[in-house]
Chain A
Amino acid sequence: MVTGAEMLSIAAFLEGRHAQAFPSFGSERTGAPVVAYCRIDDKEIRLREPIMAPDALIIQDPTLFHQVDVFAGLMDDGYILVNTSRSFAELGIADVVAGRDARRLCTVPATELAIKHVGRPVPNVPLLGAFAAISGMFSLESVAKAIGEKFSGKVAEGNIAAATEAYETARRATKEPAHA
């Protein structure tokens, strides 16, 4: 997740915007629940507080719904992107998404896509591709460039393929909002 926020900030930077990504500074253990934040703006970002009212939520692990109130503070017109092959209803959060703009809600099986293209369950990058699709804040091309800054060779290629497929999936899904 930390890497996801960092790459999101790189993608925004590549489009000439100011971006600030930072983790919730928890334990160093891999696998511990973490929150990472990203601010994107057209001017210098000075604010250093955690994001308490996000415009968008990217949820990498839907099992956290039962441990943490991940939706706290989310703007009414905010984006929700969840890494899952299930629907919002199947996840048991239909009430959370009720009344929200369906074009801003999306589920994408990012872990599966990562395994398919990268060979490892690393859903960050496909989630980033999907977020580019639903938010339109930055292009898939910038996501690919950001991937290029973090990875190289086959890993980079696999991640770009995963991001591309996630981008397409998310675009299709939000164009035909059948869930919620």
Chain B
Amino acid sequence: MLKQTEGSHAVAEAVALCRPEVICAYPISPQTHIVEGLGEMVKAGEIKDCEFINVESEFAAMSVAIGSSAAGARTYTATASQGLLFMVEAVYNAAGLGLPIVMTVANRALGAPINIWNDHSDSMSQRDCGWIQLFAETNQEAVDLHIQGFKLAEELSMPVMVCMDGFILTHAYERVDMPTQEQVDAFLPKFEPRQVLDPAEPLSIGAMVGPEAYTEVRYLAHAKQMQALELIPQLGREFQEAFGRDSGGLIRSYRMDDAEVAVIALGSVLGTIKDTIDEMREQGVKIGVVGICSFRPFPLAEVREALARVRSYVVVEKSLAVGLGGVVASNVRMALAGRLHMRGHTVIAGLGGRAITKVSLHRAFAGVVSGELERVHFLDLDTNAVNAVLEHEKTVRRSGPIAENVLRTMRLVGAKIL
């Protein structure tokens, strides 16, 4: 049913349709509305046979999830930013144990400086933790990816992270087609765990593994992600048959058929990029975009194929590998290994919630087309401000706190409203 609703609420409803049995909740912006919605539904009896547990930290949230999932319950939690970092040890553990937990990450920047706004630093910090990472472009896709996510997780016995842009999606009201319970029930079978803590069949889970077998256990984690490369598109097709919508998959190309320049991005910024590309196309620029939905596993072959005919590309990403450049860009470059004739650019954009505007994208993409853009470009960077701070540090030993120096230079006190 079509409805106009908040992204978080839509995701809460989607998770409810998946019949979760244990939900662990710890509040952190911008994830709060999702778990609040679920808590309300459990209390009101709208989600039957479900335990909603308010825990004392994100570390506990993931740990409770590990326990309940290992005991055979379909388990869900959500987090963001510092919360994801706080649970990191358990995040790796859930993946290592092969527990099919589904978690929403309402993407948000990492401190310091503390910042509650959107970027992808949180999820990207966990790119190698062993979870599948799916990025939603719209709230509709966020809904659909959760439903696919549970099926994917349980078929592979591997946890799935559904990443959606904090605030930009979680707090946005837009049109969402909510599936019915019957549709979801038909798509998502009952959870049949591969391993379960059961007094009838006692087994030990989580034993120490030495050098003689650790590599093999890790290889299997990798092999499963390689299986996911097959399964994700397959589930996308099954989903389309059942729900009539093309959602998920590994990558999605837009106006790439005759493109000479490609943009690569993930998440909600793809919408703004598509609008920008349409305008550039009107001006005769042969440009297209490849949206990455599955960041882990990373679809190397698909990205390589999608970019087979372009002469240059730019990765627009909301994350920064400090001291290197782009996180997504490094992965894309691996997909393009050997293509020496291709010129690649990285645009670091939207950090800490800075709006990514069409105007700025036009400027950056024009630089890609002409080849004049730096290889690693920070979109809308206030170079005067950073240069002034660097100069200040050269002249004064006790130069003071970095963030405060930047703000002073920019004549800002705290965050602007816009």
Could you list which residues of chain A lie within 8 angstroms of chain B, going by C-beta atoms?
5-6, 9-10, 12-14, 18-26, 28, 33-35, 45-50, 52, 68
B269 near A48: Cβ-Cβ < 8 Å? yes
Could you list which residues of chain B lie within 8 angstroms of chain A, going by C-beta atoms?
3-4, 6, 29-30, 116-118, 165, 167-168, 171-175, 268-272, 274-275, 353, 355-358, 415, 417-418
A34 near B417: Cβ-Cβ < 8 Å? yes
B173 near A48: Cβ-Cβ < 8 Å? no
Chain B residues positioned under 8 Å from A33 (CB to CB): 417
Contact sample, A vs B, 23 pairs, CB 8 Å cutoff: A5-B173, A9-B174, A12-B4, A13-B175, A19-B173, A21-B174, A22-B167, A24-B417, A24-B418, A26-B417, A28-B29, A34-B417, A35-B417, A45-B271, A46-B274, A47-B272, A47-B275, A48-B272, A49-B355, A49-B357, A49-B358, A50-B355, A50-B418
CB distance from B267 to the nearest CB of A (A): 9
Q: Contacting A22 at CB < 8 Å: which of B3, B173, B175?
A: B173
CB distance from B282 to the nearest CB of A (A): 16
Nearest B-chain residue to A8, judged by Cβ: B173
Q: Contacting A49 at CB < 8 Å: which of B171, B174, B272?
A: B272
B117 near A6: Cβ-Cβ < 8 Å? no
Give A46 to B174 CA distance when docked, in angstroms: 10
Q: Contacting A25 at CB < 8 Å: which of B3, B171, B274?
A: B171
Q: A10-B4, A10-B173, A25-B167 are in contact. Are A46 and B418 (CB under 8 A)?
A: no
Nearest A-chain residue to B166, judged by Cβ: A25
A48 near B268: Cβ-Cβ < 8 Å? yes
A6 near B269: Cβ-Cβ < 8 Å? no
Chain B residues positioned under 8 Å from A45 (CB to CB): 174, 271
Give A10 to B173 CA distance when docked, in angstroms: 8
Chain B residues positioned under 8 Å from A12 (CB to CB): 4
B4 near A9: Cβ-Cβ < 8 Å? yes
CB distance from A133 to the nearest CB of B (A): 21
Q: Contacting B4 at CB < 8 Å: which of A13, A28, A47, A50?
A: A13
CB distance from A66 to the nearest CB of B (A): 14
19 more A-B contacts (CB under 8 A) besides A25-B353, A34-B417?
A5-B173, A6-B6, A6-B173, A13-B4, A18-B174, A18-B175, A21-B172, A25-B171, A28-B29, A35-B418, A45-B174, A45-B271, A46-B270, A46-B274, A47-B358, A48-B269, A48-B272, A49-B357, A68-B417
Give A28 to B269 CA distance when docked, in angstroms: 24
CB distance from B418 to the nearest CB of A (A): 6
